[in-house]
Amino acid sequence: MDRRVVITGVGGLCGLGTDAASMWKEMREGRSAIGPIANSELHDLEGMTGAEIKALPQHDIDRKQLVSMARFSLLAVLAAREAMRQAGLSCDEGNAHRFGATVGVGGLGWDVMEETYRALLLDGARRVGILAVPKTMPSAAAGQVSLSLGLRGPVFGVTSACASANHAIASAVDQIKLGRADVMVSGGSDAPFAWGVLKAWEAMR
């Protein structure tokens, strides 16, 4: 049977705003999020401009989950929570196995990766944080969305450069059409504003 798939809620945050409504308003008014980068850790760059998220929205994410997330996962969780609220959906023990998530990621937890290399190469550390691997892997965003919302259906990351979010959404549609899930939380998240990453892009100019 060909199952009809619809979008029932959206969420998001970027340099234009910290929720879907404010982002849409700014886009409709033709505003750009690109401007001077305020992060003082991003130094010695030839081009100090970008679409930076300067402040995150208020949230009630548990501290234990916060310390287990890189920034790209946190952004994904905030957007996913907004989408679920807007959709009016709730996940519980009775239906959790029918709720899943696919999150597209162009990179990984660059902020954690950079902190790890700095600790090893500059600070002389012999060990790194115990959560370094689960925080940096590309599938971490989908996993954190699942943990935050209690989803127990299909959960996986999609990585295909700048098309990652589109492919994640297409994969979510497939999960529903194939009967593997009734609800999929899907989209994309990246947090590439790490010094080494921006220097790498700078080299391509």
Q: Confirm whether 64 is domain-assigned.
A: yes
Residue 34 placed within a domain: yes
Q: What is the pLDDT of residue 1?
A: 60
| Tokens describing residue 119 | 């600790």
Considering the domain boundaries, does residue 11 fall inside one?
no
Phi and psi at 171, nearest 5°, equal -65, -35
Task: Tell me what pLDDT residue 40 has.
Answer: 74
pLDDT for 86 = 96
Question: What is the structure's pLDDT at 204?
Answer: 87
**48 part of a folded domain:** yes
CA angle 182, 184, 185 (to 5 degrees): 150
Give me the domain span that covers residue 44.
20-202
Q: Is the pTM of this model over 0.75?
A: yes
Percentage above 90 pLDDT, the chain = 79
**105 found inside a domain:** yes
Task: Determine the pLDDT at residue 46.
Answer: 83
pLDDT at res. 42: 79
Specify the number of domains making up the chain. 1
Which residue carries 């208020």 as its tokens?
A: 58
Supply the angle between the helices 110-121 and 195-202 in degrees, to the nearest 10. Answer: 100
Weakly modelled stretches of the chain, pLDDT under 50: none
Looking at the domain assignment, is residue 122 inside a domain?
A: yes
154-161's contacts with Cβ under 8 Å and 24+ in sequence apart are 154/100, 154/101, 154/102, 154/180, 154/181, 154/184, 155/100, 155/101, 155/102, 156/102, 157/102, 157/103, 157/104, 157/105, 158/102, 158/103, 158/104, 158/105, 159/104, 159/105, 159/106, 160/104, 161/106
Domain-embedded: residue 54: yes
Flag whether 7 is in a domain: no
Q: What is the CATH number of the domain that holds 45?
A: 3.40.47.10
DSSP character at residue 14: B
